[in-house]
């Protein structure tokens, strides 16, 4: 019976079929093994990359931008952490209503937001930068997979408009755009780093895998600026520009001993914390980038050149009557005609004729050399971006009338910083110092321009300017001797000078017995009735210098009741070029 059954099975299941089935099974297992070998061995890198793309991310670690501080370590620019909303389009899973709610929170167009979220060609996209913390929290509360917060840094300026022209500002990526933020970008910026992390489907980091590059924070930049003096200078300048309805104004305060800039301000200013649209007319640092004709503030340099050449002495008499002096077909006039004046009185009364005659008694090269050596016609090399060189034409091209007008500041253009620096030769023993906006740790190398005797002689003349009978009695300061010079120059307009537009200036230093500060003030186009340097710019000098000397605890060098103003009915010593 069993034999019959086996015989029947043998007939129904030929041996070759079982062998074929076995071969097929072995082939299938071989194919699986081969595929496994291919995927795990030969094609491992590609598969690993595709797998990691679903959960592994390389995130950039921002470097903290370096702080900017004043000479006493008071912060002038700092970077604070903020949150930006970003997305990984490949991981985004959002319904239409979620996209609409997110668009409302970010104040974006829903269609535009949807387009960004659906662009899977990009692994990372910013949706909105630098949100306030409460807005960022509302975005997180939506719980949209693939939408997350990215830590960034935003620049903050504690002094706002007070230091805006000096410090500048950064863009949304924290890169310097203006002023010292731009000039010292390599120092302040640092170098960003990166890390590899694992994120879940909601975009949250669940594991920190490895550090690829460690971020290097930017270095701290210590300026020569004294924040206390900066506030004082800006306040007084702003008040003067407002009171005299001026177009603009600038002020520079220099440390006589080191050449450091202790304060530099402009008005009108702007708020550097406001990232809205900036008006280019308000963002430029006029004290460094704008040029003007300095007017009578150049007369002391003409006197110094004549004293150095030996053509005059402080008491040499120059005839200025009858108040007019013809040179060819041109006539030079004094706003307040005088008679015979000593060289000292020429500076005190600000006589154009007296300065012109001193200049014409010199070789053109002699006057040009002094102007050139004090830095006119060359960049002051303060390190500020966009600083200008000014205009000082070659002496070989000077005609007599040009040499005469150059003596009182016409036909030459300077910046306020250049003018302030040039006055250092009178505040020292005739030495010119390099200026800097960065705190100076070691003494700078000085250059002698004039002899000490010449510097002291001109300093005495400049002290006469602020006394009754001079052009700037309003520059006097209680308890301190002051020396300085006014300037009231017509503004260039078209091919000539505007009859009713002026630049009023005053440059001085104190205490005159042992100068500590040089302060230069410029008021552009005062239009409230007064326009002389002695009435518009000199009071600003007095207020700023008096406050600064008290802050610096400079010892008195005069009685506290030394201020002597002319009687109210006394005629004003006019000055106009």
Catalytic residues: 296
Burial letters 503-514, b for 16+ CB under 10 A, else e: bbbbbbbbbbee
Helix 299-309 to helix 352-360 angle, to the nearest 10 degrees?
A: 40
Helix (H, G, I), strand (E, B) or coil at 147: strand
What are the start-end ranges of the H helices in 184-334?
A: 185-189, 227-243, 280-283, 286-289, 299-309
**CA distance to 138, 330, 554, per residue, from 142 (Å):** 7, 80, 62
**CA distance to 53, 122, 509, per residue, from 543 (Å):** 66, 59, 13
CA distance 367 to 92: 74
CA distance 132 to 200: 25
First vs last Cα of the chain: how many Å apart?
142
Burial letters 54-72, b for 16+ CB under 10 A, else e: eeebebeebbbbbbbbbbe
SS3 content of the chain, % helix, strand, coil (to 5): 40, 25, 40
CB atoms within 10 A of CB 364: 19
Q: Could you identify the residue written with the tokens 């997180």?
A: 140
Helix (H, G, I), strand (E, B) or coil at 424: helix
For residues 343 and 461, is the Cβ–Cβ distance under 8 A? yes
- What secondary structure letter does DSSP report for 460? H
């Amino acid at each position: 019976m069993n034999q019959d059954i086996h015989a029947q099975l043998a007939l129904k299941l030929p041996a070759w079929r079982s062998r074929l089935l076995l071969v097929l099974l072995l082939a299938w297992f071989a194919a699986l093994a081969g595929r496994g070998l291919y995927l795990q061995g030969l094609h491992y890198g590609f598969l690993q990359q595709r797998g990691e793309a679903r959960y592994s991310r390389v995130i950039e670690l921002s470097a903290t931008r370096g702080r900017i501080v004043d000479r006493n370590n008071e912060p002038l620019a700092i970077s604070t952490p903020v949150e930006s909303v970003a997305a990984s389009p490949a991981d985004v899973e959002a319904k239409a209503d979620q996209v609409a709610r997110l668009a409302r929170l970010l104040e974006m167009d829903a269609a535009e937001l949807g387009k960004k979220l659906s662009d899977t060609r990009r692994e990372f996209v910013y949706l909105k930068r630098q949100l306030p913390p409460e807005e960022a929290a509302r975005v997180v509360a939506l719980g949209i997979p693939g939408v997350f917060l990215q830590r960034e840094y935003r620049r903050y300026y504690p002094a706002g408009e007070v230091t805006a022209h000096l410090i500048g500002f950064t863009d949304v990526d924290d890169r310097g755009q203006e002023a010292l933020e731009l000039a010292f970008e390599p120092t302040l910026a640092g170098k960003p780093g990166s890390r590899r992390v694992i994120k879940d489907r909601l975009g949250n980091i669940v594991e920190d895998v490895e550090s690829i590059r460690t971020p290097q924070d930017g270095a701290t930049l210590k300026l020569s600026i004294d924040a206390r003096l900066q506030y004082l200078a800006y306040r007084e300048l702003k008040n003067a520009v407002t009171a005299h309805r001026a177009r603009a104004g600038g002020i520079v305060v220099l440390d006589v001993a080191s050449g450091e800039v202790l304060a530099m301000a402009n008005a009108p200013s702007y708020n550097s914390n406001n990232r809205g649209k900036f008006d280019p007319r308000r963002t430029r640092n006029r004290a460094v980038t704008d040029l003007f004709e300095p007017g009578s503030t150049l007369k002391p340099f003409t006197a110094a050149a004549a004293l150095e050449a030996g053509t005059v002495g402080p008491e040499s008499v120059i005839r200025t009557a009858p108040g007019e002096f013809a040179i060819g077909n041109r006539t030079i006039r004094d706003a307040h005609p005088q008679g015979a004046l000593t060289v000292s009185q020429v500076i005190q009364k600000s006589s154009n004729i007296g300065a012109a005659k001193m200049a014409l008694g010199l070789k053109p090269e002699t006057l040009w050399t002094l102007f050139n050596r004090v830095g006119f016609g060359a960049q002051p090399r303060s390190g500020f971006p966009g600083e200008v060189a000014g205009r000082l034409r070659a002496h070989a091209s000077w005609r007599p009338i040009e040499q005469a007008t150059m003596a009182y500041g016409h036909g030459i253009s300077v910046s306020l910083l250049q003018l302030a620096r040039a006055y250092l030769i009178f505040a020292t023993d005739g030495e010119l110092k390099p200026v800097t906006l960065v705190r100076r740790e070691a003494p700078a190398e000085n250059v002698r321009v004039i002899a000490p005797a010449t510097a002291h002689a001109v300093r005495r003349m400049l002290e006469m300017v602020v006394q009754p009978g001079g052009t700037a009695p309003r520059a006097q300061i209680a308890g301190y001797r002051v020396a300085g010079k006014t300037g009231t120059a017509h503004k260039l307009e078209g091919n000539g000078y505007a009859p009713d537009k002026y630049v009023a200036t005053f440059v001085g230093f104190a205490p005159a017995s042992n100068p500590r500060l040089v302060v230069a003030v410029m008021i552009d186009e005062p239009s409230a009735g007064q326009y002389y340097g002695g009435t518009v710019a000199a009071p600003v000098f007095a207020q700023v210098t008096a406050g600064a000397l008290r802050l610096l605890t400079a010892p008195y060098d005069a009685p506290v009741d030394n201020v002597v103003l002319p009687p109210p009915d006394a005629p004003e010593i006019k000055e106009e070029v």
